[in-house]
Amino acid sequence: MKLIEVSKNFPTEEQALAYFEKRRWPNGIRCPICGAKEISKITRKSKSKNVRAQVYQCLEQTCKSQFSATSGTIFHDSHLPLSKWFMAISLMIDAKKGMSALQLQRHLGVNYRTAWYLAHRIREAMDEPDGLKLTGTVEIDETYIGGKQRGHKGKKLNKDVVLGIRQRGGPLKLVHVVDNKAGTLYEQVAQHVDKDKTDHIVTDDAGWYNFRLTKFRNVRHSKILHSAKEYVRGEVHTNTVENAFSLLKRAVIGTYHQLSIKHLQRYLNEFSYRFNRREIADRFEQTVARMVGIKAMPYRKLIEQHAFTPFVKP
């Protein structure tokens, strides 16, 4: 669903709630506390259009809980109408270069704190499931993000290293790594590439790509000689991972002017989530469905989580 369809399909909060209810309870409403099917509807009259007036009452004698369609989900302790959430989701998953909290603020007409909160909560749904492993022909390359280095040609000491692993014709995985040493990169490759289902690894001729002493030693490994200005040799190239890098760089430069390095991995996750679904027609529906499964997250907890530093650079 594109933004235009989202605003057309959910002109009222009731319609957005009905859509959400179907995603949450495809087989009929159940009490989120005890799981009972016997429930009754209570419609409250509300003066404010932003208040979710539809409430349910569990009829199980030992439970008797009252709940709404969003109770216990990530959407719950938000005073924003669901229709705004849906617009934010649509904006974030369709923005090729990413969407900053500042842009969300402008598009939705909410304050910055609300936009920031929304963006981070939607990102929670944008983590790839654990265990996604790449197969087939796998291109591996690294790129450097960060400060300019005048007079230090070739040295990349102050820059942050992003390792890109892409299954040719398939998904992309981006990892913020501490350095470009062979051991560091290999550890990530081992985590994200399926050794048994990969028949070809392609990298450039940088010295750190050497799998001879690793469990990938029996997988065919080709090197494209970037140092000799060679970019394609038949099926040997890293062009599809490099295409992703150039889009990433435009996103980092164009959207997140003040991208904080400590949040880099989260932005990388968001970027790859979007990238990997750019041709999937129901990515909006899929993202809402994922968010249904994410528990409520208080502002304080979110701040704590986002204050983490994945590693300290030496």
CB closer to Zn ion out of 67 and 267: 67
CB closer to Zn ion out of 56 and 85: 56
* Shortest separation between residue 54's beta carbon and Zn ion, angstroms: 17
* Shortest separation between residue 43's beta carbon and Zn ion, angstroms: 19
What lies within 8 Å, CB to CB, of 170 at 6+ separation is 134, 135, 136
CB closer to Zn ion out of 27 and 258: 27
* Shortest separation between residue 76's beta carbon and Zn ion, angstroms: 17
* Shortest separation between residue 246's beta carbon and Zn ion, angstroms: 52
CB closer to Zn ion out of 48 and 62: 62
Residue 67 bridge partners (DSSP): 56
* Shortest separation between residue 31's beta carbon and Zn ion, angstroms: 3
* Shortest separation between residue 63's beta carbon and Zn ion, angstroms: 3
> What b/e string do you get for 123-134 counting C-beta neighbours within 10 Å, with b at 16 or more?
bbbbeeeeeebb
CB closer to Zn ion out of 33 and 102: 33
Instruction: Give strand ranges (E) for 36-78.
Output: 39-43, 54-58, 66-67
CB closer to Zn ion out of 67 and 275: 67
Q: Which residue has the tokens 């009972």?
A: 36
Residues that bind Zn ion (CB under 5 A): 31, 33-34, 36, 58, 60, 63, 65
Q: How far apart are CA 17 and CA 285, in angstroms?
A: 14
Q: How far apart are CA 115 and CA 117, in angstroms?
A: 5
Cβ count within 10 A of residue 301? 10
Q: What is the CA radius of gyration of the chain?
A: 23
CB closer to Zn ion out of 60 and 128: 60
Q: Which tokens sit at 137?
A: 């022909």
Q: How far apart are CA 104 and CA 92, in angstroms?
A: 8
* Shortest separation between residue 59's beta carbon and Zn ion, angstroms: 8
DSSP state of 129: P
* Shortest separation between residue 62's beta carbon and Zn ion, angstroms: 8
CB closer to Zn ion out of 60 and 285: 60
Note the helical H segments in 225-282: 239-254, 264-276
Inter-residue long-range contacts of 64-68, CB under 8 Å, 24+ positions, other chains counted: 65/31, 65/32, 65/33, 65/34, 66/42, 67/31, 67/32, 67/33
